[in-house]
Structure 1
Amino acid sequence: MNDALWAFENTLLEDAKVTGLGRKSAEKLRAAGLERVRDLIWHLPRTYLDLTAATPIPQAVVGQKALIRGRVIHTAVHRTSKRRIPFFEMLVDDGLGTIRCIYFNQPYLVRNFLKGAEVALYGKVDFDRTGRYLSNPKSVPFTESPRVQPVYRQIAGLKTDRLAQWILSLITSMPDEDPVPHEIGSAFPVSRKDAFRLLHLPESMDQVREIASRQSPAIRRLISEELFFFAWGLKRRSRGRKRVAALSVAKATKDAFLGTLPFTPTEDQCNVMRSIATEMEQGRRVFSLVQGDVGCGKTLIAWFAAYLVAMAGGQAAILCPTSVLASQHAKDACSVLARFNVRSCLMTSRLSSDEQEANRQAIAKGAIQVIVGTHRLFQDDMVYRDLRLVVVDEQHRFGVKQRSKLLRKGKNAHYLGLSATPIPRSLALTLYADYDVHQIMEMPKGRLPVKTILKKSTNRDQVVRFAKTRIAHGEAVFWVVPLVEGDEENATRSAVDVSQTLAQSFGSGRVGLAHGQMERGLVEDVMQRLQAGELDVVVATTVIEVGVDVGHATVMVIDGADRFGLSQLHQLRGRVGRRDRQGTCFLIVDVPVAQETLERLRVMERIQDGFAIAEYDLAQRGFGALMGTTQSGFMSFRVADPWLDRQLFLTIKAVVDRLAPVPEYQRWVDGFPFAQ
């Protein structure tokens, strides 16, 4: 079934016999995650350049992109006044007006753009005190015939033009076969092959607008293919639920756990614990996802399930994405479970070799019942005597293969995933049709809502003064920015810049820096220093979005808040005011700022409910914005959006449900990002 197409799309790129695509280029593509033909043809443009018509300079609108054709009448190299960064500037005249073009950190361009040369430049029109200018515009051949040009994600060492040539060559060579049933593919007036061709090289801006609005038959055709294989994968996994040996735990034993808690669980927590206990006692394999806002008490569910398994003589593994979070959970496990003579331990690669080996042997013998750790838990040398429960915190940070590898170390082990990303129940039931989905809506008593305040960048000093007052009371501050390295053209300041600036206000020894390009161990060291009170402020990218619990952190500053999705802002906001302390979150936006941006961010001032915010985010920007998929390992899709395309998915799922098993379909499922 479609064997020629399957073989073609799974060919390694260095073996694809495409002109100019040799071993070295294939290595560069592989480094960017593009290894096979299917990866490259699905590498769709992130946007398109409108090179179909030039804009007269007087009509170029600030904030919009424009194609300018004209003659260079002046060039110069200058330096910025503060940081002395070199930039190249030239003046272009189209006979109707003039406009400046500025390129930061590229002084060598003075040799490329000679006075009198005819140029065609495409870029965003910006404005400063001296007037309009193009910021880092893209140069296109002046004599090039008007067309739409695809823009791809940058790949180190490769030019976009070469990439486009290779992709179109592969599409031309693609067999005329279709991996989906005729009932799905025939619903669209465009073949699969033509759909790829149109998306990679649309003929007009009208087609581009159709693609952007998701109305193009080409994009709908590929969305349907992705949703078909997603539905097929769900159908296959849903048949995998097995019965297991019933867990025998006396009511008195369960009551003993709840009776020792220093607080009263919420009704939602009690309902989830009751449901999980019932499943285990009736011999049904638990395969559940527990969702809830940051701080709602999801980890209590994990300790309760681990306690039940341990009291029945089994073992539980708690998998965490970072050593910091694992260390926090290990301390909690000890304080919660030690009173019942349940032994627990921490298992991460940051322990000494002797500590790891001692723990590994004790786990293999069954002397330790609850094991908390990171990726170390599913490495090949880890052997469990009787692993009956796997808990994965921040589930979306781990791939399917990683979770499965840990599950296979037990025999039909129960599975419990925890997620602080609030997803509306209707969407959760679509994405996780093979799970029992539990949602914790209530927050523990005493948890104060985080005050959220929108500030313009001109009032940043007010935020610094407020932070100083909280630090004086022994509290800590997170200052989050969206970029690691910035430049003069970018209004959003980088983590490095901000940390240097704040060090002048708070003291150089009291400000830490944490971002995703640092080694994991260094980031965790910074977080531990903040927890220990050695730092007052940590400047970070969204690396702190993952399960960081710093009890005395009460201030969250998000600089460049307009660059984040609302659900991501809500996740970050939940990292402060974790105990009974009042938390405050400042959302700083650079000026000038669009009114619609301010209105979107004011939702954060009005709403504390993460599920309500998620609904708003989905309606405004779709699934990708809700999950922040570019910054995390959450289930990702190439073109489909499970929320925007939910009606189409239901139609396709109905087709899948009535189809007989077709083993060949699974090989296609495994090639999609959502399966990873």
Structure 2
Amino acid sequence: MTGRPERLFPLFAELRTLQGIGPKTAAHMVALGVEAPRDLLFTLPYSGIDRRLRPTIEDAVLPATLTVAVTVGRHMAARAKGGAYRIHVEDAETFFQLVFFHARGDYWSKALPEGSRRIVSGKVEAFDGIAQMVHPDHIVPEAEADSIPDFEPVYPLTAGVTQKLMFKATRAAMALVPDFPEWIDAAQKTKAEWPDFNTAAQIAHTPTRQEDLLPTAPARERLAYDELFAHQLTLALARATERRKPGRVSIGDGQLQARVIAALPYKATSAQDRAVAEINADMAGPMRMNRLLQGDVGAGKTLVAFMALLRAVEAAGQGVLMAPTEILARQHYESLVPLAEEAGVVLEVLTGRDKGVERRRKLDALARGDIHLLVGTHAVFQADVAFRDLRLAIIDEQHRFGVRQRLELGRKGEAVDVLVMTATPIPRSLSLAQYGDMDVSVLDEKPPGRQPIKTALISTGRMEEVVTRLRTVIDAGRQCYWVCPLVEESEVVDLTAAEERFKHLRAALGEGIVGLVHGQMPAAEKDAAMARFQAGDTKVLVATTVIEVGVNVPNATIMVIERAETFGLAQLHQMRGRVGRGDAASTCLLLYQSPLSENGRKRLEVLRETEDGFAIAETDLQMRGAGDLIGTAQSGVPRFRVADLERQAGLMAIAQSDARHLLSEDPGLQSDRGQAARLLLWLMRQEEAIRLISVG
């Protein structure tokens, strides 16, 4: 199955093969994401206009879009150049005016002669007590009344593309749809009462009432499911391909794990125990592990990760933990040193900072197997880094890190098991969209002894009170974070915002007390500023969102987030999790600029009410949508044209289990349904998946 099946050729031809679309229009349509007739099928109307014929406009509540039969009366030409040309018309009960601007010569007197009958449809408004229809959308002779649809679909538009054009283009695209075999599971289709694909496309483009436009309308739901199913089939194929690669069986006697557990000052949560058991089972199995460890701020992911690393050592192998930044790598290293000492294993750190003799020494020890566990940045990817027997790779903070890097890491060892950790609680529908190729362990409990964090909303007008409060906290020996707003996407503006705030606080609190970290700094300066704050030399750290992930300063008890309303909830929750890491009570102050919108206030109040990251992420998804929530551009979450991840989370879960089920029964997609599913993959532009089948 190398190329696209022939029956799909017309749908993937150039747009200008459709009647009425020339090169210019085709170029305009790209802005709508429409590059081939196939894309028009999935560009659905977002609303509709009721154009049913009525006898009169008499009792209508204006303004309203109305359709009536009229007798054409007197014409009144424009008094001044560029003025309005008016035509008096009468329906069965009353009269109104048709109004045209820029009327040319005798065009209208010929097109609408006095005494003729016409059907007109358009928006009617009252102006100076007279009802007017300005530039009707439709004017047709009575005999052609049928040419005006009872319910006219309204399509998304862009410059150079009109409703009329979209209407014709979508109809032309639908005429090209071949008879597709069914790729949806028969029982699922019956249960959901979905039409087949061709009927669904037809109905979705010819709604007859407002209800037909809802995501829950059967035709729309079916098309949404087709998108989600194709996506999950791709992920399931990727997962099956990964799993066909034999893993290494890593069985440990549990001695090292037991030593560390015994030395802990607290008892692990049942969620941690469960995750460790799932990972141990994966590592002992013949298939390669590909697991996501998802945990809220402070849920204890580090302990679970370390247990997994120890299992690799118990099996006489090595493990590596990779962090996205130098600071985080060193921090992981420092937090793991005491645990490594308890277990009696050799732990080292390798980052871009290691040069010359020191780097050589570490690399030799790694190759000999004298280093059991390595913590590092992507420097551990470099070609000269060789392990004696790498069995497990753990990646911290996935979304800085795509599927490609996961595979690259796998090449470092023979069939390395992969565990990905993320501290961002992701709503289920999104985690299925993003990590559907992985198995997931969730840490949904907080270890005992974590201090709750008090969250308060304060208007930016009370800035000076906040600064006074900081003074008190600093005098008591504590430290504070101050996060500056993200201004649009401009790093230059972010920079000025952060620098201004830094100067302001330095003037208020004194020299040497305030540090600054922002995205434009060279890495070494950033590290140095962070290190000073970690050591307690500076008491306040002014930062853009670089501190969002992972930094650990137990002595910091106040987090001020300026213009909190400009951040996403999940992001605010992450930043709040930077405090409350020691034994003192901590506070997060959300500074907002008033007036806050109703929606803005609701969002910030969710944070004040709960510390449950999963609940917060679900709210964020409902209120902002998937694209904003994770910055779709860099998140690896696909953009769907019909499916709505916020409202159709349930469909995503069904699609995942169905895709996995189909592949377990028919790994090569050879059965009738398998062949149909191949067509779906081509239709949904999932060429990646098709390559995986051919490889498999």
1:398–1:592 Cα change, 3 Å: same
Give per-residue Cα distances to partners, 1:361-412, cap 9 Å, x unaligned: 3222222111111111223332222110011111232101011110221222
Q: Hey, what does 2:277 align to over in structure 1? A: 274
Gap regions ≥5 residues in structure 1: 12-16, 23-28, 49-94, 96-144, 152-159, 199-205
Tell me what 1:408 maps to: 411
* 1:102 paired residue number: none
Q: Distance in 2 between matches of 1:302 and 1:442?
A: 16
From 338, 350, 361, the equivalent of 2:341 is 338
How far the C-alpha of 1:448 sits from its partner, in A, is: 0.5
Who is 1:535 aligned against?
Answer: 538
1:105 corresponds in structure 2 to none
Rg (Cα) greater in structure: 2
1:498 to 498, 501, 507: 501
Paired residue for 1:461?
464
Q: Aligned partners of 1:256 and 1:485: how far apart in 2?
A: 50
The question of whether the paired residues in 2 share the 8 Å contact of 1:485 and 1:494 is answered with no
Matches within 5 A, 1:46-125: none
> Could you tell me which residue of structure 1 aligns to residue 238 of structure 2?
237
Query: 1:577 is paired with a residue of what secondary structure?
Result: coil
Q: Aligned residue for 2:310?
A: 307
Aligned to 1:558: 561
Report the Cα offset of residue 301 of structure 1. 0.8
1:262 is displaced (CA, Å) by: 3.7
Q: Which residue number corresponds to residue 201 of structure 1?
A: none
Q: Is the 8 A contact 1:484 1:515 kept in 2?
A: no
Contact 2:482 2:560 in 1 (8 A): yes
- Give me the whole-angstrom Cα distance separating, in 1, the residues matched to 2:175 and 2:535: 61
Aligned to 1:441: 444
- Counting matched residue pairs gives 554
Q: Which amino acid in the other structure matches residue 607 of structure 2? A: M
- Alignment-derived partner of residue 669 in structure 1: 686
Task: Output the CA distance in 1 between the equivalents of 2:632 and 2:686.
Answer: 21
Counterpart of 1:187, as a letter, is F
**Cα distance in 1, alignment partners of residues 488 and 511 from structure 2:** 19
Deviation at 1:216, TM superposition (A): 10
> Could you list the per-position Cα deviations for residues 282-330 of structure 1 after superposition, in whole angstroms to 9, with x for gaps in the alignment?
5564332222211121011111111121132201010111111100112
**1:416 and 1:179, CA in 2 relative to 1: closer, same or farther beyond 3 A?**
farther
What is residue 547 of structure 2 aligned with on the other side?
544
**What amino acid sits opposite 2:338 in the alignment?**
S
The answer to whether the aligner puts 1:187 opposite 2:189 as a matched pair is: no
Q: How does 1:18-417 map to 2 (within 5 A)?
A: 187=197, 223-224=224-225, 226-239=227-240, 240-241=242-243, 244-281=247-284, 285-417=288-420
Distance in 2, matches of 1:482 and 1:671, equals 39
Q: Tell me which amino acid in the other structure corresponds to 2:395.
A: V
Give secondary structure in 1 for the equivalent of 2:354.
Answer: coil
Whole-Å separation in 2 of the counterparts to 1:179 and 1:413:
45
After superposition, the Cα gap between the structure-2 partners of 1:176 and 1:388, relative to the gap in structure 1 and judged at 3 Å, is farther
1:180·1:228 contact (CA, 8 Å) conserved in 2?
Answer: no
How far has the Cα of 1:599 moved from its partner? Answer: 2.9
Distance 2:377 2:431 in 1: 26
* Partner SS, residue 381 of structure 1: coil
Q: Is the 8 A contact 2:553 2:579 kept in 1?
A: yes
TM-superposition CA deviations, 1:321-374 (whole Å, max 9, x none): 111110011223332213444222212213224433332232222221111111
- The 1:310–1:353 alpha-carbon spacing in structure 2 relative to 1, beyond 3 Å, is same
Whole-angstrom distance in 1 between the partners of 2:371 and 2:517: 34
Structure 2 CA distance, aligned partners of 1:514 and 1:592?
29
Query: 1:232·1:669 contact (CA, 8 Å) conserved in 2?
Result: no
Name the stretch that deviates more: 634-643 or 450-459.
Answer: 634-643
Note if contact 1:348-1:373 (Cα within 8 Å) is conserved in structure 2.
yes
* Residues 354 and 216 of structure 1: CA distance in aligned 2, closer, same or farther (over 3 Å): farther
Query: Counterpart of 1:452?
Result: 455
Q: Which residue of 2 aligns with 1:628?
A: 630
Whole-Å Cα distance in 2 between the matches of residues 533 and 630 of structure 1? 37
Percent of pairs with identical residues: 35
Paired with 1:629 and 1:591, the residues of 2 have a C-alpha distance of 25
Kindly provide the CA deviation profile for residues 221-267 of structure 1, in whole angstroms up to 9, marking residues without a partner as x: 98556423321123213424356454343344432222223433223
**Residues 475/7 of structure 1: CA separation in 2 closer, same or farther (3 Å cut):** farther
Distance in 2 (CA, whole Å) between partners of 1:531 and 1:655 is: 49
Contact 1:484 1:541 in 2 (8 A): no
Which secondary structure state, in structure 2, belongs to the residue aligned with residue 494 of structure 1? helix
Compared with structure 1, are the counterparts of its residues 553 and 624 closer, same or farther at alpha carbon in structure 2 (3 Å cutoff)? farther
Partner Cα separation in structure 2 for residue 537 and residue 2 of structure 1 = 59
**Structure 2 gap segments, 5+ residues each:** 15-21, 47-82, 84-136, 138-153, 185-194, 671-677
Counterpart for residue 591 of structure 1: 594
Secondary structure of 1:554's counterpart equals strand
What letter is aligned with 1:588?
A: L
Distance between the aligned counterparts of 1:417 and 1:509, measured in 2? 39
- 1:535 is displaced (CA, Å) by 2.7
Give deviations 1:117-140, integer Å, cap 9, x for gaps.
Answer: xxxxxxxxxxxxxxxxxxxxxxxx
**What letter matches 1:402 in structure 2?**
Q
In 1, the alpha carbon distance for the partners of 2:178 and 2:514 equals 56
Please report the RMSD computed on the Cα atoms of aligned residues, expressed in angstroms.
5.3
Cα shift at 1:37: 7.2
Structure 2 length-normalised TM: 0.65
Letter in 1 for 2:293: V
Whichever residue aligns with residue 459 of structure 2, its letter is K
Change (3 A) 1:373 1:149: same
Deviation digits for residues 47-100 of structure 1, max 9, x if unmatched?
x9xxxxxxxxxxxxxxxxxxxxxxxxxxxxxxxxxxxxxxxxxxxxxx9xxxxx
Q: Counterpart amino acid of 1:451?
A: K
Secondary structure of 2:243's counterpart equals: coil
Summarize the Cα distance change of 1:403–1:284 in structure 2 as closer, same or farther, 3 Å threshold.
closer
Per-residue deviation, 1:10:
13
Equivalent residues of 1:396, 1:635 under 8 A apart: no
Provide the secondary structure at the position in 2 that maps to 1:318.
strand
Number of the residue aligned with 1:637 = 639
Greater RCO structure (CA 8 Å; 6+ sep): 2
Structure 2 contact 248–391 (Cα < 8 Å) conserved: no
Q: Distance in 2 between matches of 1:180 and 1:374?
A: 49
Query: What corresponds to 1:78 in structure 2?
Result: none
